Amino acid sequence: MFIDEATIRIKAGDGGNGCLAFRREKFVPRGGPSGGDGGKGGDVIMESSERHNTLVHFRFNPEYKAQRGRHGEGSNKTGREGVDVVLKVPVGTIVYDADSGERVHDFSSPDDRMVIARGGRGGRGNARFTTSVHQAPREHEDGRPGEERTLRLELKLLADVGLVGYPNAGKSTLISRISAARPKIADYPFTTLEPNLGVVVVGNPPHESSFVVADIPGLIEGAHEGAGLGTQFLRHVERTRLLVHLVDVSDASGRPDPVKDFEVIVGELSSFGAGLENKPMLLVASKCDVANKTKLTKLKRYAKSHGLEFFPISAVTGEGVEKLKYAMAEKVEEVRREQPAEVSA
């Protein structure tokens, strides 16, 4: 199950109350106020983890509350602090305040840690109010309430390469060919209902390199307005460094013009915004083992006239796959040198 959005409610712990107490001990000639302070409430902390890849655990348990601080006690004993709650989120999670819409934090790297809601301060006991002219105070404070907020979590996959194209263009077959990912593959549209990630290794040790590929579920015309799977997965393309656009050049697609197929998907990426149309792109003619030669020639001519790197492949037979894999690795390395280590949304 792939869950990439969740809304949760969090409550940091309240501070413990300060204590009202007076010292009364045998053989102690001078008594006096001895109320201790309340303990601080626990914080709610979020931490990015590579061991998590979905937000499903928040979908089924949407409320989290940290422990309150213990009340102060006599003999100037300070109450124990409340226990923090640590919430693990996948790398690539963006946290928004659900009420204001403000972006709270972007967990774009592993082991990133942030206090999302702070626990309340403990109240002061009456011993804190002693002065030279007020030696038997009865004042004491209640603990402050912990922060409480509603958050919206949105997961955007962190992948170097995004495979895009119409449904059944061969994206799932390609990612299964070049990585260890095993997505569902079938001959009907929208087989892929959730993004699949695969790690591609190129070369041999000690000179090998690797990059992450995301198989983005099929887009269709009108996707940016909600058609097909809509914008549900377009957001995952935002963080990729490189787009690999697969166009089916066989007759099985039922669409006669491969150039129009390409331009429609590019138009959807552009309409979605976030600069997707400006990302580096490789154009791939898929299913070349059963290609319509006219379609293949037309797409190749289009790529040449528009300065696009063109790769005819067959993920079934393996034709052209190695060449494409090395081209992807080279392009990713080139973009990595030009851009910061982490691509921000």
| pLDDT in 10s for each residue of the chain, 345 residues | 455 789 999 999 999 999 999 987 777 666 789 999 999 999 999 999 888 877 888 888 999 999 999 999 998 999 999 999 999 998 889 999 999 999 999 998 889 999 999 999 999 999 999 998 988 899 999 999 999 999 999 887 778 898 888 888 888 888 888 887 665 444 434 444 467 778 888 877 767 778 888 887 756 555 444 444 445 556 677 778 899 999 999 988 778 899 998 998 888 788 876 677 788 999 999 999 988 999 999 999 999 999 999 999 998 899 999 999 999 999 988 887 876 544 443
Q: What is the C-alpha R_g of the chain? A: 29
| pLDDT tens for each residue of 87-127 | 999 888 999 999 999 999 999 888 999 999 999 999 999 99
Ordered strands of the 281-286 beta sheet: 196-202, 209-215, 161-164, 242-248, 281-286, 309-312
Question: What 3-state class would DSSP assign to 275?
Answer: coil
Distance, CA of 117 to CA of 45 (rounded, Å)? 7
- pTM here? 0.66
What is the homologous superfamily of the domain 5-155 according to CATH? GTP1/OBG domain (2.70.210.12)
Q: Where are the domains of the chain?
A: 5-155, 161-338
User: What does DSSP assign to residue 270?
Assistant: H
Given CATH 3.40.50.300, say whether it is the number of domain 161-338. Answer: yes
Q: For the chain, give percent helix, strand, coil, nearest 5.
A: 25, 25, 50
- Per-residue model confidence (pLDDT) at position 183: 52
Residue 294, Cβ neighbours under 10 Å: how many? 11
- Per-residue model confidence (pLDDT) at position 344: 40
- Per-residue model confidence (pLDDT) at position 40: 97
Distance, CA of 284 to CA of 98 (rounded, Å)? 40
